[in-house]
Structure 1
């Protein structure tokens, strides 16, 4: 067993198949498949059930995931620590981020980090709920995370660093039903069609609170794809509840952005393991927190 075999194994797990894993790792599929077969032979167990191009982890495969991530991380840590002796001039930081926080404050964090360490790349992985971000960091899929939650978050084995609060706003077409500059009370949403995120997200929680209050609005679209929301608003499909991080983009796109009452907020926090971060991840965490300091 060697680290490359474990890296290939994790690539199959994370990409859902041998072909996609090979493309993600920039290797020929036969080479990756052979590496996995040698790993299975060495362990004496099949790691995947193979159904054509689709693969599903066996019980042995599921048992290997977290130890494999630990080994791969430790090796990356060793390489990065040696490289950092000569200065942080290369490497990679991986961070799991929810969609609204990817708009802001992540963009500011990455800009500040890239200015200081232009040779270090940042890989952003999508996570749709706070639980997804916490799981990605806890299991070693990424070293860092950035989440927004209305409810208190139980960190467990990871460390939380609160960095900001984001108010929820209502985004409407420029000729929408409410005048510019005035807040919108939730009872005023009666009769409106709303665009909502999937359950487990803050924007969905606000919409559900509106409906639970007896307001006669309807959910016209439920979407996991935040990039679809502004076009849907602008073409008249419905109104959207979004975090304030979307305000600038929405205004530049021509939408109207209004405060909602009663106020509701997302609490934004960085997430990291409490120890054993690579030098690049430690520096990103430090710079990201500094960006958000008043």
Structure 2
């Protein structure tokens, strides 16, 4: 059984359609069918059932898929390790990060990283689906809110922060020293849309506090939210250190009693080789925060 055949097999597992898999592999459908038959003949069991126009994995196909993924991943790890050895001062790191963090928090880190490692290519990929980006190998590491432990991943917690209510200086609450959860129910808010990690964290906290908040406008950018606050459209609930980074003199952060807690972590697949560029970036990230 050859690596190329396993790659054909895995593509068919993913697509479950011979024509689509063959198209993505850049080969003909008869060639793909023939290669799958070769594997089945070698193993002595069918890997797929052809039911009309549908293709489904057999129990043997499910079993082989798990091992094939490990084999292909280990081969990729070997290639990356050797490339890393040959290119001591270069490399690439792909990072999935929450759009809001990329919007305001990580720019200075990227500038310093490039100054020290100018030959290292960094690809920052904003996403609200960091977990699947990491698991599907689209990125090397993910940086975002802490998630439930997953046996496929390594988790490195590196930062915890509270949330505050942000209002413009002319707001009725601007002189308050602290805001209670109940106070938030009567305040028009501008927030991230539902489905964004930061918004879901706030909504979950509201359920714990048995309160309901009301939004008048929603946007996916921290910068635009602050602009809306500055113009008096509404207040917003964001990480407490955000104003220190954005430096908006016309906006005031008011601590929230029993504040939501935001825990950040780095995640990466525990079967994946991380090159020097990725490891260096992770260390810089921990120190930076």
Partner of 2:51: none
State the distance in 2 between where 1:251 and 1:102 align.
16
Superposed CA deviations along residues 71-114 of structure 1, whole A, max 9, x for unmatched, are 98767655543343345332221111113433566445434533
Partner of 2:261: 265
For the structure 1 residues 207 and 41, does the alpha-carbon distance in structure 2 shift closer, same or farther, using more than 3 Å as the test? same
- Deviation of 1:203 (Å): 3.5
Q: Return 5+ residue gaps in structure 2 as ranges.
A: 16-21, 37-54
State the distance in 1 between where 2:89 and 2:200 align.
41
Do 1:171 and 1:250's aligned partners in 2 also have CA atoms closer than 8 Å? no
State the distance in 1 between where 2:215 and 2:141 align.
33
Partner of 1:43: 32
Superposed CA deviations along residues 14-71 of structure 1, whole A, max 9, x for unmatched, are xxxxxxxxxxxxxxxxxxx9875437664349xxxxxxxxxxxx989xx9x9999989
- Deviation of 1:162 (Å): 0.5
What SS does the aligned partner of 2:169 have?
A: coil
Count matched residues: 249
The answer on 1:126 being equivalent to 2:134 is no
Question: Higher mean Cα deviation, 96-105 or 71-80?
Answer: 71-80
The answer on 1:191 being equivalent to 2:186 is yes
The answer on 1:239 being equivalent to 2:245 is no
For the structure 1 residues 211 and 161, does the alpha-carbon distance in structure 2 shift closer, same or farther, using more than 3 Å as the test? closer
For the structure 1 residues 68 and 195, does the alpha-carbon distance in structure 2 shift closer, same or farther, using more than 3 Å as the test? farther
State the distance in 1 between where 2:251 and 2:68 align.
47
Partner of 1:22: none
- Deviation of 1:165 (Å): 0.5
Alignment TM-score, normalising by the size of structure 2: 0.67
For the structure 1 residues 103 and 181, does the alpha-carbon distance in structure 2 shift closer, same or farther, using more than 3 Å as the test? farther
Matches within 5 A, 1:16-35: none
- Deviation of 1:235 (Å): 2.4
Q: Return 5+ residue gaps in structure 1 as ranges.
A: 14-32, 46-57
Do 1:168 and 1:264's aligned partners in 2 also have CA atoms closer than 8 Å? yes
State the distance in 2 between where 1:41 and 1:283 align.
46
What SS does the aligned partner of 2:248 have?
A: helix
Partner of 1:93: 93
Decide which of 132, 135, 138 is 1:138's aligned counterpart.
135
Do 1:134 and 1:145's aligned partners in 2 also have CA atoms closer than 8 Å? yes
The answer on 1:222 being equivalent to 2:211 is no
- Deviation of 1:241 (Å): 0.8
Alignment TM-score, normalising by the size of structure 1: 0.66
State the distance in 2 between where 1:75 and 1:239 align.
51
- Deviation of 1:184 (Å): 1.8
State the distance in 1 between where 2:68 and 2:219 align.
34
The answer on 1:284 being equivalent to 2:273 is no
- Deviation of 1:166 (Å): 1.7
The answer on 1:170 being equivalent to 2:165 is yes
Computing the radius of gyration from Cα coordinates, the structure with the larger value is 2
Do 2:140 and 2:268's aligned partners in 1 also have CA atoms closer than 8 Å? yes
For the structure 1 residues 100 and 35, does the alpha-carbon distance in structure 2 shift closer, same or farther, using more than 3 Å as the test? closer
Do 2:104 and 2:246's aligned partners in 1 also have CA atoms closer than 8 Å? no
Do 1:162 and 1:270's aligned partners in 2 also have CA atoms closer than 8 Å? yes
